[in-house]
Structure 1
């Protein structure tokens, strides 16, 4: 199967399915585009050569036609001058040039038709190239979407923002633990201060009782009364 036929078959019937089944559709499309570019370059080169050849045939055809017309004029002049021998020679060359012109005409027509057919195929190939190129852009966009989605999934799998939130959770636990320790310490100090205050009151009461007892003792020793 020729490359042109292969490209036509793929682009008309199998390209989408072929690309969907490919593990790397962009690379597959690039390979196909490379084949199409090579085919277009060869076709374009051949087309230019055919144009040159067709033009050469046209020039040869017209040249033979002009020579035939000139020999016809010369034969007419020779007849008028009574030179039948020269007239025959001129007419013989005229017939030869007319035959050459006809052969070149046939070759020219064939070459022109072939060039027109090749030009049509080249235009079709260029259109198909653009079609495949547009599919490359589409699949490139799809592959980029998949790549970004994979990165997003990898980021989610690694924790992503959750990692940062978990760090705040750990910090919250540490702060809460510190607050509990601080609250417990304050309660212990408050309890100590309460006990100290209660102990001071008890000592003062004892001291007053001791003082009263001492005063009574002194009064009794002196035989007086307590003031």
Structure 2
């Protein structure tokens, strides 16, 4: 179970029901508070890591953006010197960095969303922990007055159901991963042809950019003349 799934389980927990089914309500509530505190510490760490990763991705995107612009300038310089081969090579490099920049930009968006989800979960867990601490003593007292024969048997029955559900969830995950692996194999089988088309498109873009640079430089020379 992932960290967010564990936090979600704690957030959905109904303290009244848990206390009613527990053999030792006081011990149970202490354990719930302890679990929440542990998950809270882990969640704070994950939030910090997510934000740091976001900043790193943003930095890498900026680096690729600067590299793209730098190689475009070099291509213009080569055209000015009549070195079309060097200009083409520079434009190919610029397109490569441009693709990397777009990839990092997409990752930044995903990472920003993940960090926001973690922050929201952290806020909810902090609130839940505060409420749980405040209500723990009251619920223990109420249970001591209202506890009846048969609660322990019911708790064991529910625990068995929970275990069965856990097994079902694990089986579902295994099936899902198997399906993902099959899909990935199908995608990889198509990559060779797609890569060839991407190469052709890249060459066309290089030639187009080269002509654009030449046209701009001719216009500049005509304006000066």
1:3: how far off? 2.9
* Greater Cα shift, 52-61 or 80-89: 80-89
Give distance in 1, aligned partners of 2:22 and 2:135: 14
User: Residue 51 of structure 1: CA displacement?
Assistant: 1.6
Q: Does 2:101 match 1:98? A: no
Structure 1: give runs of 5+ residues left out of the alignment. Answer: 147-227
Aligned counterpart, 2:18:
18
Work out whether 1:9 is the aligned partner of 2:12: yes
Deviations 1:68-98 (A, max 9, x none): 0111111112212222122112111100000
Contact 1:3 1:35 in 2 (8 A): no
More divergent stretch after superposition (34-43 vs 61-70): 34-43
Higher RCO, Cα 8 Å, sep 6+: 2
Distance (whole Å) between structure 1 residues aligned to residue 61 and residue 8 of structure 2? 35
Name the residue aligned to 1:154: none
How well do the aligned residues superpose, as a CA RMSD in angstroms?
Answer: 2.4
Q: When the two structures are aligned, how many residues end up with a matched partner?
A: 141
**2:16, 2:139 within 8 Å by CA — same for their partners in 1?**
no
- Taking structure 1 as the reference length, the TM-score comes to 0.56
Which residue number in structure 1 is paired with residue 72 of structure 2?
Answer: 72
Compute the TM-score of the two structures, normalised by the length of structure 2: 0.56
Deviation at 1:27, TM superposition (A): 2.7
Flag structure 2 segments of 5+ consecutive residues without an equivalent.
146-225
- Taking the TM superposition and a 5 Å limit, the aligned residue runs for 1:5-154 are 5-10=8-13, 14-20=14-20, 22=22, 24-139=24-139, 142=141
2:43, 2:118 within 8 Å by CA — same for their partners in 1?
Answer: yes
Tell me the distance in 2 between the aligned counterparts of 1:31 and 1:81.
75
